[in-house]
Chains A and B, each alone.
Chain A
Amino acid sequence: MDTFSKDVITQIEKKHIAPRPRWIFIVRNAGTWIVSGLLIVVGAMVISAAWYSLFDNDWDVYSYGGANPFIFILQNIPYFWIAIALVLFGLVFLSFRQTREGYHYAAGAIVVGTIVISIVAGAMLFGIGAGEHVERLAYTYVPYYRGTEERHADVWMDPAHGLLAGTINHIDSTTQFTLTDLAGVRWTVIASGTQWQPDASLREGAVIKLVGTPATDTVIFVAKEIRPWSSSSEYRSPLPAKK
């Protein structure tokens, strides 16, 4: 044994240094994998909310409001969810790189893999309704977040341009009913020859969106087309506007 190795062994013995138990390293590595997995799951939830925001949008109605299509698209991109997703992708990358095996993979492969997994898993979660749930949770609990529904309400509460949304209060006949719009104004809706979308139905309490023409100086709205407010439930009411 040479002097240096003797010194090392002396230090080890003097300070009572012992190898750390194997389980510590196993738990640590498993922990980084679990954190990476959880971040991917959260990322997929966020992406599902982005899918909801994109798919539950009425991309065709910009023409009724006379809006510029490009501006309409820019206004309806789910920036909030995309920003959170980007942060999560970054965290997944950092976390994955901390795993025992993570350094073998190129940064681009990790990022692309994370994005692809999140988008596919997000689409599946969106398919089972998680996106809307996440969106509503965010709207309820995240301060200043306007949410998809509030943006939709802005678009659809524009009777002057033929767009109206509200709840059916009373059905007079198959072609006429009373509706209270999102601002609380009662309208008489004429629905003669109106095109009802498959998920929309004439039932009291149903929340609907209408494309049509307001009669001049009255609260009568002649509907050309009626859609459900929410694609998931015809009775789902819009969330109350934030103050």
Chain B
Amino acid sequence: MRETLIHPNQYALLVERYEAKLARYIRRVVPLSDDDIKDVLQDVFIKVYQNLNDFDGNLLFSSWIYRIAHNEAITLIRKRKHLVRFAPSLDAGDDDGLDAGVVEAIVADDDVEEDVSRRLQSEQAQQILDELEPVYRTILLLRFVEQKDYREISDILRKPMGTVATLLYRAKKQFRQKAVAYHVVASI
């Protein structure tokens, strides 16, 4: 596959395949304008191309490309910390807005009684996510929005599976607390 991707035309197909997914992920991790997203994404794809020979066949290709995108996003967060801290929520009309199902999935937990608001506005969910620490925000996004399993998240974040489970538990807990505070869900 590596050999095939080295040819620009083949690589363009890969860019097309992941462009929208990665743009959506980066936008949710770090709020940026469309132009900035495009620049970051271009850097991601150039890095992926440069490092094609570093791809580990034991991983899913999607995990590897998400890892590179994630690292770029985290680097940006560090560079623009202030931007994230006072991040505005996404436009309500944004196609990438979170749907109520995502929030229900995040809030739902075996050890907590569920009372999820069925009519949750997507921007409320994004606002809660924006307020979480980046590590919690990204892990919730990967699990509930990008629908990655624990193994994939472990490979993307380069963290052991046990740590992924712990972070996910804490992230859900924080999300629930904020959701309750914002009356998005009933008290738990």
Contact = CB atoms under 8 A, between A and B. Distances in A.
Contact of A8 (B42, B50, B158): B42
B16 interface: yes
Interface string B2-33: 10001011011101100100000000000000
Given A103-B158, A104-B154, A105-B160, A19 B53 contact: yes
A103 B154 contact: yes
- Interface range for A: 20 to 34
B50 to A, nearest CB: 6
Contacts of B11: 8-9, 12
Contact of A19 (B19, B41, B50): B50
A106 interface: yes
A19 B51 contact: yes
A106 to B, nearest CB: 5
Contacts of B8: 9, 12-13
Contacts of A232: none
Contacts of A2: 16, 19
A19 B158 contact: no
A20 interface: yes
A20 B55 CA distance: 11
Given A103-B154, A103-B159, A11 B6 contact: no
B158 to A, nearest CB: 4
Contacts of A106: 160, 162-163
A223 B9 CA distance: 91
Interface in B28-76: 38, 41-42, 45-46, 49-54, 56
Contacts of B51: 19-20, 25
A1 B12 contact: yes
A9 B158 CA distance: 29
B160 A12 contact: no
Contacts of B161: 104
A143 B55 CA distance: 47
A103 B160 contact: yes
A71 interface: no
Interface of B: 2, 6, 8-9, 11-13, 15-16, 19, 38, 41-42, 45-46, 49-54, 56, 154, 158-163
Task: Give 7 closest A-B pairs by Cβ, nearest first.
Answer: A5-B15, A103-B158, A22-B53, A5-B12, A25-B54, A19-B52, A106-B160
7 contacts: A2-B16, A4-B16, A4-B38, A11-B42, A12-B49, A20-B51, A103-B160
